[in-house]
Structure 1
Amino acid sequence: MDEFFRMVGFVPPQEGASHASSAEEKASDASSQGASKKRKASHGQRNPFASDGKDGEGLSSVFEAIKLPSWRKRTLIIAILVLILVIAGAYWWFHPPINIHSADTWTFLVVFVLLPAFITFRALSASYKAGSNARPKNAGKAKRFKWLSWIPVAVFAVAVLGWAASYSIWPGNAEKYSSILQIQDTDFATDIQEPDYDTIPVIDRDSAVLLGNRTLGEIPEYVSQFEISSLYSQINYQGRPVRVSPLNYADLFKWFYNKDTGIPAYVIVDMASQNTQVVRLSSPMYYSESEPLERNIDRYVQLRYPFYMFEEKSFEIDEDGTPWWVCPVQTRTIGLFGGETIDRVVLVNASTGECQDCAIDECPEWVDRAYPSNLLIQQYNWYGSLHNGWLNSWLGQSGVVQTTPGTDGELGYNYIAKDDDVWVYTGVTSATSDNAIVGFVLVNQRTAEAHYYSVAGATEESAMSSAEGQVQNLQYKATFPLLLNINGQPTYFMALKDAAGLVKKFAMIDIQRYQNVAVGDTVEECQKSYKALLATNGVTTGDDSVASEVTGVVRTSMQAVIDGNSHVYLSLEDSSLIFDCPLPTVMNAVIVRQGDTVTISYIEGDPTCTVESLEVKSAEAASAAVGQSSSVSSSTVDASSNQPVAEAASADAGGSASA
């Protein structure tokens, strides 16, 4: 051990040291300096790390300025222990994964290990080259420490090479990137079922946050101590689309006051009904984002699994309402830092800290967000740009597509419920980012199953502008659209909000003909108007199971123009329903008059029903069939006055008989 300390120069010269030894060292230094001068003379070059003469103005002068004390062994051991404790404390606080594929790991190494090691070795080399009372000149040690200083540089160079090898330009990488997400081409009308309007999410995340925060204000004992986390993860819970978010400690002092009793509740916002509730827990949550120490969820799960690289976590509840943290584990498949995907999931019980580590294909079905949305969008963009090669992505751009941009600089996507899972939806547009889509993609957030649907139409942003144009006098703002299947047609559905962020109206827009917009105060009213709009364009349900039929006598018949489209509205005797006949789909509705007997096939509504087909039977023929010709009027119509002329004819006949 003493020899090691003497070698690195941390042991000062001992009293009574032999002068012969000192003389030998000086002779050795003189010999080394002479050889160095000869080498400089022969090459005609200046050594930037030399410390004598003008050459001392090189980099070595910087390291000479770093004074390394000459410590005794005991002091040195204490210093090393303190350094180890500092590094350990920094690791505990920052908790980077111990994984060469992690950028956080390399940042930690550079700041706390590689850079200090490089500076120390260089300073020791310069110190031995210049010489001092504590460290006499020693060319051998100076050279040795100079070589040691290249070790951290070499380690850093490995990171740089690994980073360069992650680029898609590297041979073979474009194919790897494009195959991370497996895309299936699917037919929209058969794959996406028509929605249950009671479970359509009618509000977006911003509205859910607004409703959730207001609900917390109804519980005074929570308001002063807790606040709602900004997570608001969207999941399927007991067949309903909801957003859930835990409470957090309001600040450090509130944590100190409540840390023994934990976090007592979480918030659920129903995205369809807009109902919000604060769910009180029998077993409070102790593991959360607002915990500053060992129960901080990020620190807890990272230190428990030190070699895992965790992606963006989410807060979810299982079907029993138990709160869990879902922590996806990422892996890098290309180079050192490229080709990110998810291969495992760690589930942490927010109340007990119990952990479940499972492969992605063994993830429980109640988990809805194993793959973060941003990662899935990125993986599809890799496929869209690189599936025909890297060179094509820059030059020819044949078949190059990308996901549609959102608004306010954010990614454009939304969520739909399908097969009891949450799927990320986004439109797909060309590389030139025009105002049209070539299709759209759905990706399962639990399994990464991806479906592509080829549909030409308007981008989400264009549809939002079209919906806002329908209510421009009210200055409502549209939410990012949701994708629905209405009568087999891909349809944008969105809410229209006022300046306070409250939902006031709803809009449905035909993706392929985005100038066709239906607006209603309720989802049901909007749906009826939209189906009538589709019928006007010749699109019917094609589903007999939802159509009803009625036969009756027409009480009133009126024609009107709604949003530029012509409709005939009928009412029947002994019925409170109003039947909407869109033109020109139900063209024979224009010949229907009061007193006619009609058979109507319609889609039920309350009170307005959309007519799919209409069969007209004149009143005269109907009365003849039942033998009551004297009690009904003729269906002949005076075109000029639009009034039945049967009564006049009947009066004339009566007058003749009387005469």
Structure 2
Amino acid sequence: MLGIALIVAWVIMLFYPLTFAEKLHDLAKVDKKNKLEEVQDIKTMPLVTVKMADAKGDAAINKIANASYFTEGEYRLTNINGELTYTSPIEMDGFFKAGKAEYTPGYNLISAISTDKGASTVKGKMLYAPSQYLDYDLERTIRKKYPKKIINDSYLEPNEDGKPFFVASVGHYLKYRSGSVVDGVVLVNPETGDTKYYPLGKEPKWVDRTFTLETALEYWTYWGKYVHGWKNQSLIGAKKDVLIPNEDNMQVTFNEKGELIYVVDFTRAKSKGNSKTLVGYGVFNAKTGEMTYYKGVTSVLTGKEAKSNANASEFLSKYPGWKATNGIFYTIYGAPTYVIPVTKGSKFQGIAIVYANSDNPQVVFGKTKDEAFRNYKKLIASLGKVSGVTPQKGFELKEIKGKVTRINDANLSNGYVFYLIVEGNAKRFSVDPGVSALSDIVLTNVGDRVVLKVMDMDEEVVPVDQFTNLDLPKK
């Protein structure tokens, strides 16, 4: 009897949501747009993967006193002083170690933009944490104060002064245990355990995320699946107009306002196999819950196919162990594009940029961001109207002459990059290891006359394609 009762309960839980599928669909308030837009900020695109962040965080913990007591918490992306940054609470490494340590010594910050920066540990007394036990357990602390709220997720985020708080997204279910409705956030002081609830839209400005990645995926799934109600999803349903979000390639990045967004690509429903091209892509604002679906997408690869193309390219195939990670979809220079960090294990090797037209996919590679984008500009300029890309103003190679007023170098993991300012030009220019005549830039001093050839696409720092120093002896 008990077995039968459990089976009946399972069947009810499985099929009950279909009875209010329309209400689940309506949880997502989606603004549809027909034209692709550059909704992500390419200046702050994340290049550091979670695996890379984990390696950096582990190295930082090794420097802490009694390091064996602790481990890294979950890595979450937040906006810290305008830079996309991973935050990770330092957590207890087990019950017995928690008893000896009493509290954790702070949290780690890791840049998601710079592949060369290590983790920095912000020290502080954190008594309440996800890895703590009994009355110091974070989730238990929240439930004691707000027993009727469901906890969607929690993460660590510092305020403007660097003081850490755990931010928990809380809410209720639409019906029974289906349909997560976000009511607001609970902030927990990890030193004192003090909590405060903020209704949706009333949270502090520095809080980046009130809707979790899982909630965003849930909403997109309801919206795409139940577009014509539950009958369309039944065993005999036609599944008309059904759209499938690609949960394996849902990415976190910034928009140009500095707000955290989740970006996901959509494919059509197929009875066999997976679609290799997009029908659209969605952008979900992590703070406000605003959802925008861009349906003006044709002949564009999915993230999975773009990754596959990158791994099969001549640039990666000749280096054993080099692998493309999951990329983020952008519209760059008017072209559908995936930007994909390339790693070997947990070490950054460079960036693959995939021109994602399914009729003629192309891949370029650079050991630095500047080099990769310089190569991508050349690719887009060479494609012309052949692949439906019309070169915009700035794709032509432009010559700049003048005296060097400032010059400096940065020692990056893949070699030196030189930055210079030329008299009479407000732009900053960069010369990376991929440029020929690199020895000339090494010997360049302030006051030297130089000739630069660039494709200036309005970036703040313009990569140099060709560099000549007129004051050096001729070779």
Which residue number in structure 1 is paired with residue 77 of structure 2?
Answer: 234
In the TM superposition, what is the alpha-carbon distance from 1:511 to its structure 2 partner? 2.3
**Paired residues of 2:85 and 2:109 also in contact (CA < 8 A):** yes
Distance 1:254 1:365 in 2: 36
**Alignment root-mean-square deviation, CA:** 3.3
Instruction: Pick closer, same or farther for the CA change 1:424–1:609 going to 2, 3 Å.
Output: farther
**Paired residues of 1:577 and 1:607 also in contact (CA < 8 A):** yes
Q: Which of 321, 327, 339 is equivalent to 1:493?
A: 339
Q: Which of 77, 92, 97 is equivalent to 1:254?
A: 97
Query: What are the residue-to-residue correspondences of 1:89-488 with 2, within 5 Å?
Result: 163=13, 166-168=16-18, 170=19, 173-186=20-33, 189-190=36-37, 192=39, 195-196=42-43, 199-217=44-62, 219-229=63-73, 231-259=74-102, 262-274=103-115, 275-281=117-123, 283-334=124-175, 336-394=176-234, 395-406=237-248, 412-418=249-255, 419-432=257-270, 433-454=274-295, 455-456=297-298, 457-470=300-313, 471-475=316-320, 476-488=322-334
SS at match of 1:329: strand
Distance 1:180 1:245 in 2: 31
SS at match of 1:436: coil
Distance 1:284 1:546 in 2: 56
Distance 1:524 1:228 in 2: 32
Cα shift readout 1:79-113 (whole Å, capped 9, x = no counterpart) = xxxxxxxxxxxxxxxxxxxxxxxxxxxxxxxxxxx
Distance 2:252 2:458 in 1: 32
In the TM superposition, what is the alpha-carbon distance from 1:236 to its structure 2 partner? 1.0
Cα shift readout 1:489-543 (whole Å, capped 9, x = no counterpart) = 2310011111x32111211112224621111111110001111111112246645
Instruction: Pick closer, same or farther for the CA change 1:579–1:236 going to 2, 3 Å.
Output: closer
**Paired residues of 1:235 and 1:368 also in contact (CA < 8 A):** yes
In the TM superposition, what is the alpha-carbon distance from 1:177 to its structure 2 partner? 1.2
Instruction: Pick closer, same or farther for the CA change 1:295–1:383 going to 2, 3 Å.
Output: same
Instruction: Pick closer, same or farther for the CA change 1:187–1:531 going to 2, 3 Å.
Output: farther
TM superposition score normalised by structure 2: 0.77
Distance 1:180 1:386 in 2: 11
Which protein shows a greater Rg?
Answer: 1
Could you tell me which amino acid in structure 1 is paired with residue 71 of structure 2? E
Distance 1:163 1:502 in 2: 44
Indicate the structure with greater strand content: 2
Which residue number in structure 2 is paired with residue 135 of structure 1?
Answer: none
Instruction: Pick closer, same or farther for the CA change 1:494–1:287 going to 2, 3 Å.
Output: same
2:333 corresponds to 1:505: no
Could you tell me which amino acid in structure 2 is paired with residue 447 of structure 1? T
In the TM superposition, what is the alpha-carbon distance from 1:321 to its structure 2 partner? 1.2
Distance 1:442 1:602 in 2: 25
**Paired residues of 2:243 and 2:266 also in contact (CA < 8 A):** yes
Gaps (5+ residues) in structure 2?
Answer: 403-435, 438-447, 468-475
Q: Which of 607, 610, 613 is equivalent to 2:464?
A: 607
Could you tell me which amino acid in structure 1 is paired with residue 146 of structure 2? Y
Instruction: Pick closer, same or farther for the CA change 1:328–1:579 going to 2, 3 Å.
Output: closer
**Paired residues of 2:400 and 2:452 also in contact (CA < 8 A):** no
Instruction: Pick closer, same or farther for the CA change 1:191–1:183 going to 2, 3 Å.
Output: farther
Indicate the structure with greater helix content: 1
**Paired residues of 1:216 and 1:278 also in contact (CA < 8 A):** no
Could you tell me which amino acid in structure 1 is paired with residue 168 of structure 2? C
SS at match of 2:201: helix
Query: What are the residue-to-residue correspondences of 1:581-596 with 2, within 5 Å?
Result: none
Distance 1:166 1:359 in 2: 29
Gaps (5+ residues) in structure 1?
Answer: 1-58, 60-114, 116-152, 407-411, 553-568, 581-599, 611-659
Figure out how many residues of one structure are paired with residues of the other and give that number.
404
Could you tell me which amino acid in structure 1 is paired with residue 190 of structure 2? A
Distance 1:601 1:180 in 2: 40
TM superposition score normalised by structure 1: 0.56
Instruction: Pick closer, same or farther for the CA change 1:601–1:371 going to 2, 3 Å.
Output: closer
